Amino acid sequence: MFLREAVYHRPKQNFAYAADRQTLHLRVRAKRGDLVRADAIVGDKYAWERTAASVPMRLFASDELFDYWETAVVPPYRRLRYAFKLTAEDDTVYLTEKGFADRLAPNPDEFFDFPYINPVDVFAPPSWVKDAVFYQIFPERFANGDPSLDPEDVQPWGGEPTPRNFFGGDLKGVRDHLDHLERLGVNAIYFTPVFEATTNHKYDTTDYMKVDPHFGTNEDLKALVEECHGRGIRVVLDAVFNHAGKTFPPFVDVLEKGAESEYAGWFHVREFPLRIEDGIPTYETFAFEPIMPKLNTEHADVKKYLLDVARYWVEEIGIDGWRLDVANEVDHAFWREFRQTVKAANPEAYILGEIWHDSMMWLQGDQFDAVMNYPFTNAVLDFFAKDSIDAAGFANAIGGQLAAYPQTVTEAAFNLLDSHDTARLLTLCGGSEKRMKLAALFQLTYPGVPCIYYGDEVGMAGGGDPGCRGCMVWDEAGQNAGLLRFYSETIALRRTYGAFRDADIAFLQAERGSGTLVYERRGTDGSRFIVAMNAGVLPAEVSASADSRSWQDAYSGEP
Amino acid sequence: MFLREAVYHRPKQNFAYAADRQTLHLRVRAKRGDLVRADAIVGDKYAWERTAASVPMRLFASDELFDYWETAVVPPYRRLRYAFKLTAEDDTVYLTEKGFADRLAPNPDEFFDFPYINPVDVFAPPSWVKDAVFYQIFPERFANGDPSLDPEDVQPWGGEPTPRNFFGGDLKGVRDHLDHLERLGVNAIYFTPVFEATTNHKYDTTDYMKVDPHFGTNEDLKALVEECHGRGIRVVLDAVFNHAGKTFPPFVDVLEKGAESEYAGWFHVREFPLRIEDGIPTYETFAFEPIMPKLNTEHADVKKYLLDVARYWVEEIGIDGWRLDVANEVDHAFWREFRQTVKAANPEAYILGEIWHDSMMWLQGDQFDAVMNYPFTNAVLDFFAKDSIDAAGFANAIGGQLAAYPQTVTEAAFNLLDSHDTARLLTLCGGSEKRMKLAALFQLTYPGVPCIYYGDEVGMAGGGDPGCRGCMVWDEAGQNAGLLRFYSETIALRRTYGAFRDADIAFLQAERGSGTLVYERRGTDGSRFIVAMNAGVLPAEVSASADSRSWQDAYSGEP
């Protein structure tokens, strides 16, 4: 007998989805350890007898409570009726849409149904994304390449970052240091906002059609993008469409004219005139931040304006995608139109939402290609940085994440370990370079798009905002050369071996109470890598059975 | 200790959704009988300390394995962070996005998140739908009002229906009999296809812009719609957009010219020239039916054509909605555009998909207002018609369905007991009028839109297609007057008392091995009804505790 209550399957989302235009992935969940075998009974609903087949499933992930079984099926006519045969030591039960049954019904009317693989509905991120290694740049703090653009009150490079000070970083600075990025091995940049705004972080946009004058001009950005492309580096900008800034002209107009403003409908105003009462604005904002009025993305004029913005930077400036700020507070309907607009301008543009929570509803093919994968971040930090979970807990957290999304989503997820919104990785690791390296090693050998926050690679530390937004250290004496070498070597490994980018991961050793983790990465090309690490405070001996004598050290190439 | 593996919650879909523009419904699942209490811990993510509250949940549905708890919350700022407190006899555990915990974290970062209620994303079927009682008409078999339109080989009214014969039903016939519909008390008609086609069922469209000449003209339909509206009856047509007919001019062109046809991209052709090999067309079709070539609804010209069709009949002819044939084999992207087109023409149009299986992915606000609720059909038939499940099994099936969808979806679901695609209800009941009445009584006292298949109300019988497509019996001598009275009285009850249309249902008696069912229907206006029925073969005594002396017989009005 196995536990019926633990079994779960519901068509679509992460349990039955088109992995490509021909292939369906089917998954079923059961209590951990309950099943010795699972099979999918599949066929075409209009030709059942001729097409019915039983397909074995594999246990592809586990978390604390559950095992997840999966198989891939290519339906002969793009449609699939299916059931599951679940086998425990002493029990075999069939699962259909109608529930459990001891024997299979003679016809598949009450089986689960995947009605049709329609290409337009298939989740399909740009092909380059799976192979990308991102580098996040906070432009005001990366490099000051043109002091003539500096704000009036600019501080000397390398000073203490505060919420409001400026250090003069600009686009020219980025261009001057592209060699550093090439040497590091990254092939994509995510820039936090570059449009005109009043703050150093630029999340309070004044003009969505103009590069901030302290950073440069639209032409400067275009030239930077072109140079990046020449070096094989893609460029993604930050789209702050949830809210504008207090200097955004339509908002200024509403501030001045109230309900009479022609832009009154562009915002969510609870009460005119706009004001702040007991710390709460009478208009909706990001959080309760008065300088960030929420845009009414259901309003036709607002939609047109923002979609024109989305199109302009892709089409005219040549950027390769958008990172969407506070993406989950904007309506789904807007993002669907946004996707159509952006993909029409460049089908290979990457659409990356900022969502810190469960994101399945944005990752079904009609909205985003990926989200910033903070659940991944948290699991890695809990294990490698904070030592607050053991190897088993970590493997369970990762297993749960693999199961929570389609494989295609996992392979395109944006796996960051820190950002401008968190403390820096080295600081989160309590200053331990060893822990930091293990965390980064996991990140760089895990499916999904790794992103390195500028400066982490040279050993920069820093707490939460504003501490994490310090000036990039360019003086080699202040850089950690060993860490930089580690990053470039590990990025090179990832970019060399497809197995580190493919989805298949198996935890070979992840025990309760242990800090020792051993996992195998398997490539669709048949290659296999074993990664062993000890995140504990004690030395540990790792043993993993390698079933062949042909294993090599991936770093050195030696046996 | 309660069973952790049985607990389920994932944001959005049927577990956390906007019931209207202000209100969120939160649900959580647990093993049946495990919890004595459940609470939602809720608050605003940016003002947690000031807004946090604990809200008790109620057990609103159960199925064989699980209990489902629900509560409604009005977030102060349209966004909600939440967790659940689950209380068993001897165990209290908190559930957050991160899993189970013995105590609640001090901040809600790892709680579940409903980021924002954006009105455009809220599932909101037309307001009239909840109060509708539908009547399905198969036009070729309802009434022959204008013999001059008859096909050449028309058969005498009342003959044996075959897959290919004609009896001359037409729009004039419907118009002649609107009094019957008014007396019956229905206030909406769903017509199977009325556009020009070669078959009697018209599912093989020749011309989507033209009423079939054997039924009348576009003007006739417009006049019929206007007369229906004058009588308070709405009209829904059948949109057969998955596939066209073999006489559809673009398909004829492709048949003739092959890959050279300008319409070659309108269909899914595996191999030119179009032909049938071993019973399988070389082009995709509905099932393997050569006369029903599948339309390529991703092709821009096809989309434009079909969306023009969708708009024309709503805007020019005045229909109140579309029933979508084989809806789940058409791409989601098409249906999203279809919704925008139709709702722009008439925001109160009803969009009803034909889906026989789990339909959650089409019922999230961006596609359909409802689906044809065959899981409901099957449960009712299993219990009332076939006696293949007992009262407990029936209550579990219904409970599972209530839990599987948002309440707003349940209230707009199209609850049919038979159709042109199934045997007739009386025949499914083995000819038992008593069983048929109980099934219809349940249908008419259950949330969701009941639909009566033409002729059921006068006692027509008939097996699966073509048997269920017989000519409507208009001779009063051939009608079952008692059944007709039962239908009109029960429809009147439903239309009089909102409690029968509101979602709240509780099973008071539904035992294993029993055919006796007692349930209470509770209205949002505070009214309550108890329905007791015995679907078993033995007489049964029903006792239900009524907590007040003010109960009346709803049919007679007597105490």
Which domain CATH number covers A270?
Answer: 3.90.400.10
What's the pLDDT score for residue A556? Answer: 72
Q: For A383, which DSSP code?
A: I
DSSP 8-state symbol, A368: -
Burial class (CB in 10 A: 0-12, 13-18, 19+), B246: middle
Residues in chain A: 559
Residue A3, chain B, CB below 8 Å: the answer is: yes
Per-residue DSSP letter, B282 = S
Residue A33 · residue A69 · CB < 8 Å: no
Is A523 part of any domain?
no
pLDDT interval class at B1 (50, 70, 90): confident
Our separate counts of H helices and E strands in chain B read 13, 25
Please report the pLDDT score of residue B267 as a whole number: 98
Please check whether residues A206 and A318 belong to one and the same domain.
yes
Q: A14, A29 in Cβ contact below 8 A? A: no
Nearest to B336 among A110, A284, A336 (CB): A336
Distance CA A119, CA B180 (A): 47
Tens digits of residue pLDDT in B383-399: 999 999 999 999 999 99
Question: What is d(CA B417, CA B378) in angstroms, rounded to the nearest whole number?
Answer: 8
What pLDDT digit, counting tens, does each position of A306-329 carry? 999 999 999 999 999 999 999 999
Q: Please report residues of B whose CB lies closer than 8 A to that of A331.
A: 116, 118-121
B112 lies in the same domain as B23: yes
pLDDT bucket at B539, cuts 50 / 70 / 90: low
Pairing of strands B53-56, B35-43: antiparallel
Are A306 and A270 found together in one domain?
no
Please tell me whether residues A346 and A471 are part of one structural domain.
Answer: yes
Beta carbons of A118 and B332 less than 8 Å apart: yes
Closest CA to B122 of B131, B114, B130: B114
Please check whether residues B486 and B342 belong to one and the same domain.
Answer: yes
Residue window 337-356, chain A: list those with CB within 8 Å of chain B: 355-356
What residues have CB less than 8 Å from B481, skipping those under 6 apart?
Answer: none
Q: Is the pLDDT of residue A557 over 70?
A: no
**Closest Cβ–Cβ partner in B77, B78, B298 for A120:** B298
Residue B544 is predicted with a pLDDT of 53
- Chain B partners within 8 Å of A403 (Cβ): none
pLDDT reported for residue A540? 63
Rounded to 5°, the CA angle A306-A311-A317 comes to 120
Report the distance separating Cα B391 and Cα B517, nearest Å. 6
pLDDT band, residue A346 (cuts 50/70/90): very high
Question: Which two three-digit tokens encode residue B269?
Answer: 């052709």
Bridging pattern class, strands A58-62 and A66-73: antiparallel
Run of H or E residues at A473: none
Per the CB < 8 A criterion, the answer to whether B163 and B155 are in contact is no
Catalytic: which of A70, A354, A457, A502?
A354
Selecting among A39, A70, A170, A325, the annotated active-site residue is A325
When mean pLDDT is compared across A245-254, B470-479, B547-556, the lowest value belongs to: B547-556
Predicted local distance difference test score (pLDDT) of residue A552: 74
DSSP code of B383? Answer: I
Contact A288 B47 (CB under 8 A): yes
Q: CA-based angle B362:B365:B367, to the nearest 5?
A: 45
What pLDDT, in 10s, does the model give residues B473-524?
A: 999 999 999 999 999 999 999 999 999 999 999 999 999 999 999 999 999 9
CA distances from B122 to A8, A333, B320, B354 (A): 27, 10, 21, 22
Q: Which pLDDT score, from 0 to 100, does residue A538 have? A: 65
Task: For residue range A257-309, list pLDDT tens digits in order.
Answer: 999 999 999 999 999 999 999 999 999 999 999 999 999 999 999 999 999 99
Structural domain count of chain B? 3
Per CB-CB distance under 8 Å, the chain B contacts of A65 are 4-5
Q: pLDDT value at position B537? A: 66
- Asked if B357 and A77 come within 8 Å (Cβ–Cβ), the reply is no
Q: B74 pLDDT exceeds 60?
A: yes
Interface residue B33 vs chain A (CB under 8 A): no
Summarised one tens digit per residue, pLDDT across range B342-376 is 999 999 999 999 999 999 999 999 999 999 999 99
- Measured between CA atoms, the residue of chain A closest to residue B367 is A333
Phi then psi dihedrals of residue B175, to 5 deg: -60, -40
Buried b (16+ CB within 10 A) or exposed e, B437-449: bbbbbbbbbbbbb
ipTM comes to: 0.95
Residue from the list A5, A66, A358 with its beta carbon closest to the beta carbon of B97: A358
Q: Are residues B288 and B226 in the same domain?
A: no
- Give pLDDT, residue B540: 63
Please choose, from the candidates B490, B489, B492, B542, the residue with its C-alpha nearest in 3D space to the C-alpha of residue B514: B542
Question: Which residue of chain A is at minimal alpha-carbon distance from B289?
Answer: A46
Reading the block at residue B388, the tokens are 């293949």
Residue A536: inside a domain: no
B78 lies in the same domain as B148: no
pLDDT of B554 = 74
Place of tokens 């008409």: B137
φ/ψ of A462, rounded to 5, equals 160, 140
According to the model, what pLDDT value does residue A44 have? 97
Position B536 scores a pLDDT of 73
Same domain, A169 and A146: yes
pLDDT at B382: 97
Which three-class secondary structure state does DSSP give residue A284? coil
User: Which of B114-118, B522-526, B554-558 has the lowest average pLDDT?
Assistant: B554-558
Active-site residues of B, by number, are 325, 354
pLDDT tens figures, A122-132: 999 999 999 99
Cβ atoms within 10 Å of A257's Cβ, excluding its own: 14
The residue range of the domain holding B77 is: 4-121
pLDDT at residue A105, rounded to an integer: 85
Judged against a pLDDT cut of 80, whether residue A548 lies above it is answered with: no
Higher pLDDT, B7 or A552: B7
Distance CA B375, CA B399 (A): 12
Q: Is residue A150 annotated as a catalytic residue, yes or no?
A: no
Closest to B254 (Cα-Cα) out of B241, B270, B271, B273: B273
pLDDT band at B309 (very low <50, low <70, confident <90, very high): very high
Q: Which one of B296, B313, B336 terminates a domain?
A: B296
Residue ending a domain, choose from B481, B500, B519 = B500
Whether residue B472 sits in one domain with residue B393 = yes
Domain CATH for A308: 3.20.20.80
* Angle between helix B433-444 and helix B481-496 axes, rounded to 10 deg: 20
Residue B543 lies in a domain: no
Q: Residue B558 domain-assigned?
A: no
- B70 vs B559, higher pLDDT: B70
Q: Residue A249 contacts by C-beta under 8 Å, 6 or more apart in sequence?
A: A206, A207
Helices and strands in chain A, H and E counts = 13, 25
* DSSP conformation class of B292: S
Closest in A13, A298, A360 to B118, CB measured: A298
Q: Identify whether the C-beta of residue A134 lies closer than 8 Å to the C-beta of residue A449.
A: yes
* Nearest Cβ partner for A358 among B11, B336, B358: B11
The answer to whether residue A292 is domain-embedded is: yes
B522 domain residue, yes or no: no
pLDDT digits (tens, 9 = 90+) for A380-415: 999 999 999 999 999 999 999 999 999 999 999 999
The closest alpha carbon to A409, from A11, A18, A98, A91, belongs to A18
Q: Is residue A558 part of a domain?
A: no
Q: End of a domain among A121, A141, A157?
A: A121
CB-based contact (8 Å) between B124 and chain A? no
Q: CA A285: distance to chain centroid?
A: 25
CATH of the domain at A66: 2.60.40.10
Instruction: Please give the structure tokens belonging to residue B380.
Output: 């009712």
User: How confident is the model at residue A106, as a pLDDT?
Assistant: 81
Asked if residues A85 and A54 have their Cβ atoms less than 8 Å apart, the reply is yes
| pLDDT at residue B310 in the model | 98
Q: Are strands B370-371 and B350-353 parallel, antiparallel or unpaired?
A: parallel
Under the banding of pLDDT at 50, 70 and 90, the label for residue B555 is confident
Same domain, B269 and B307: no
Chain B residues with beta carbon closer than 8 angstroms to that of A332: 118, 120-121, 366
Helix spans in A193-331 (H): 218-230, 249-257, 300-315
A482-496 residue pLDDT tens: 999 999 999 999 999
Q: To the nearest whole number, what is the mean pLDDT of chain A?
A: 96
Neighbours of B548 (CB within 10 A): 6
pLDDT digits (tens, 9 = 90+) for B498-508: 999 999 999 99
- What pLDDT band is residue A180 in, cutting at 50, 70 and 90? very high
* Model confidence at A370: pLDDT above 70: yes
SS3 B22: coil
Q: Which three-class secondary structure string do you get for B270-301? A: CCCCCCEECCEECECECCCCCCCEEECCCCHH
A170 is known as an active-site residue = no
Q: Is B118 on the interface with A (CB under 8 A)?
A: yes
- Distance (Å, whole) CA B498 – CA B524: 8
A152 and A94 housed in the same domain: no
CB contact at 8 A, B161 and B193: no
Same domain (yes/no): B194, B321 = yes
Torsion sign across C-alpha atoms B270, B273, B277, B280 = positive
List helix spans (H) across B285-390.
Answer: 300-315, 332-345, 374-380
- Indicate whether B187 belongs to any domain: yes
| pLDDT for position A326 | 98
Task: Please report, rounded to a whole number, the percentage of residues in chain A having pLDDT higher than 70.
Answer: 97
